Structure 1
Amino acid sequence: MANLLYTSVSKFGGVNSVYHKVVSSFPKGMQMAFAYGSGVFKQEGQKDTKQNMMDFIFVVNEPAVWHEQNLKQHASHYSFLKRFGPNVITMVQESAAGLYFNPIVPFGDRVIKYGVISTKTFTKDLVQWNKLYVSGRLHKPVMIIKPPDDDTVKDALKTNLESAIHFSLMFLPEKFSELDLFTKVASLSYTGDFRMLFAEDPFKVENIVSAGIDNFRVLYQPILLSTDYLYWDEKEKSFEQEYTYNSRLYHLDKIPGYFLGRIGRRDVETVYSMRDVLAQDSQCNNLLHDSLDEIVGDSSKKQSLKGILTGGLFRSSRYGSSKCNKWLKSGKK
């Protein structure tokens, strides 16, 4: 899968880049590490990424072992939960969306936030969309610092991108632009996220896509070129798709079965039957949207509440305050 997902860190300054220095300062045992957000990728209306916090996610094979080592190296990064040891920290990590975040951590002249997630939980969300948290983050371009070496993880990453495209195509008309498609893809993980009401820039999705559309294009190109019922005019940066029962069934087949199962049609016994019924249902998109809203809403609320424990009251308040300030500033534009 030769695209931005596996972009070498050399493009961003090689092994001497600040991103690589951050990752190398933490314990080994990572299956994958990536950076994301406005501290890494410039967004529309943003003058410089250096003023923003850098966000990282570390996918680790053995969370308890990793936290034990990290507590020895970086105990100051943790809240009061460090007193209970790595096993309790890991137990807390596995709740909500399955990540343990340490926010507002100084690193040289920058500030970072990093989340830790187990390889098992990470892979499950990519394939099933059971939380649509880290999987949703990966619908958008990220900077891979440490690529995965496990084929199961690699396949799961590809599956997640495919699901995002096929889900988004269900909501688009017969003719649409690249901007329409990538805006829909980027919006999936924010649908139902309560933070969008008061703690996130309401123009966040548009800012991400408009400034990074070239990255979206590179990330999704292999999938778009191999998608049936879709014609991509790369020169005109536009698409045409067939809008038929067969095309809808084709797209539904690429959407995770767990996700479709959450729709809860009592008259349908199997996921396969669910896809057939939905492909003919005029309310299909409403049902898909409601399921998306429910899953994202549930995981985002629980993960945010957990953040008070993992980040500590002071740092969590400081982090939340910075988010609200961004939201207020965006409203004045």
Structure 2
Amino acid sequence: MAKFVYPKFGVTNPIYQKIVTSFPSGMQMAFAYGSGVFKQQGQTETSQKMMDFIFVVNDPVSWHRQNLKENAHHYSFLRRYGPGVISAIQESSAGLYFNPMVPFGDRLIKYGVISNWAMAQDLVQWRHLYISGRLHKPVVMVKSPDDEKANDALKTNLKSAVHTSLLLLPEKFTEVDLFMQISSLSYTGDIRMSFGEDQNKVRNIVNGGIDNFRILYKPLLLNSDFLHWDTEKKCFEQEYSHRARRYHLDLVPGNILRYIYSREVETLDGLRDVLAQDRQCNNKLYDALQKTVSRSSKTQSAKGILTGGFSRSTKYGADKVKKWFGSRNK
């Protein structure tokens, strides 16, 4: 089987590499994402937007220790407590520590730090559906992982997104429907979508980057059983049988299924068998996703006030709320 390599998209900018290399060594992977990197529908340019980054590090304590020496001003008051406390806070909740609204040249950046272990757990098990959800959408891989296990985890995450989404979609759906469902998985139950995020966020992401979604997911869709592309009608058709549901459920991460209670079974395989015969399977799966995301979004948002500091968090939150009001008036 060919080794999975995360695709390179047509969004190139030398500043991405410059930003990543300006931070301490020890990153195993780094990627850029968001509206400061990818132009979304209704967006004329990206240069005025904050650029978002995720840095994956092997040893968070050592990395933060060095970053505190070089960039202490990036941190909130928590810098006073040192790298051990910062790393402990990072590992709580969804495993990320964010420094927002950091000046870099004439731009602002936000960067999150996560350990290899926390990233792998979320990609494979969807423990929080946070970093895994971010990677359901196209990103610019500034530093690609060298580790084969990390590449396998990236691929597993994408496969899980496809098969979970197919269980939530009807028998016939368009390409945009599919990519919107995939992109929506990590926003299901997110408190920010109720107050603080653009209500058209998912549609703007998909419509603005449809070609990148095709590049990211085409290899997986071509090899998916029970799915057919109708070239005449320009839509997907899927088999909605017990056998098809069982096939897809095998690729839904176990952590999501654990939120679905059934007194009839004690094992995940048994639960998959029961759900495959249940016509309410999609609703139960949606509820499980909602519980997972709701829990992680609440704790991560609360943690963001500490890591960002009151002043920056207030400014960042105000910008989000402004977008939210603007999207509701459209």
| TM-score using structure 2 length | 0.96
Note the alpha carbon deviations across 1:276-322, whole angstroms, 9 max, x for none: 00001122111111110001011001000001110101111111011
Residue from 274, 299, 309 that aligns with 2:306: 309
Structure 1 residue 298 corresponds to structure 2 residue 299: no
Q: What residue is the counterpart of 1:276 in the other structure? A: 273
C-alpha distance in 2 between matches for 1:119 and 1:298: 22
C-alpha distance in 2 between matches for 1:117 and 1:227: 31
Q: Secondary structure, in 3 states, of the residue corresponding to 1:262?
A: coil
Q: What residue is the counterpart of 2:259 in the other structure? A: 262
Q: Secondary structure, in 3 states, of the residue corresponding to 2:47?
A: helix
Q: Following superposition of structure 1 onto structure 2, how do residues 40-119 of structure 1 map, counting pairs within 5 Å?
A: 40-119=37-116
Note the alpha carbon deviations across 1:72-92, whole angstroms, 9 max, x for none: 110000011111110110000
Q: May I ask how many residue pairs the two structures share in their alignment?
A: 329
C-alpha distance in 2 between matches for 1:300 and 1:294: 10
Contact kept? 2:4, 2:155, Cα under 8 Å: no
Contact kept? 2:5, 2:151, Cα under 8 Å: no
Q: Secondary structure, in 3 states, of the residue corresponding to 2:209?
A: helix
Q: Secondary structure, in 3 states, of the residue corresponding to 1:208?
A: helix
Q: What residue is the counterpart of 1:220 in the other structure? A: 217
Structure 1 residue 331 corresponds to structure 2 residue 328: yes
Q: Which runs of 5 or more residues in structure 2 are unaligned?
A: none
Note the alpha carbon deviations across 1:94-128, whole angstroms, 9 max, x for none: 01111000000000010000000000000000000
Contact kept? 1:225, 1:232, Cα under 8 Å: no
Residue from 17, 21, 26 that aligns with 2:18: 21
C-alpha distance in 2 between matches for 1:218 and 1:150: 22
C-alpha distance in 2 between matches for 1:249 and 1:275: 6
Residue from 184, 188, 196 that aligns with 1:187: 184
C-alpha distance in 2 between matches for 1:304 and 1:218: 32
Note the C-alpha offset of 1:258: 2.1
The root-mean-square deviation of aligned C-alpha atoms, in Å, is: 1.6
The one-letter code matched in structure 2 to 1:12 is T
Q: Secondary structure, in 3 states, of the residue corresponding to 1:155?
A: helix
Q: What residue is the counterpart of 2:12 in the other structure? A: 12
C-alpha distance in 1 between matches for 2:193 and 2:279: 29
Q: Following superposition of structure 1 onto structure 2, how do residues 95-244 of structure 1 map, counting pairs within 5 Å?
A: 95-233=92-230, 237-244=234-241
Contact kept? 1:3, 1:218, Cα under 8 Å: no
Contact kept? 1:224, 1:232, Cα under 8 Å: no
Note the alpha carbon deviations across 1:182-215, whole angstroms, 9 max, x for none: 0100111100001111100001001111111111
The one-letter code matched in structure 2 to 1:218 is I
Instruction: Report the CA distance shift for 1:237/1:102 in structure 2 as closer, same or farther (over 3 A).
Output: farther
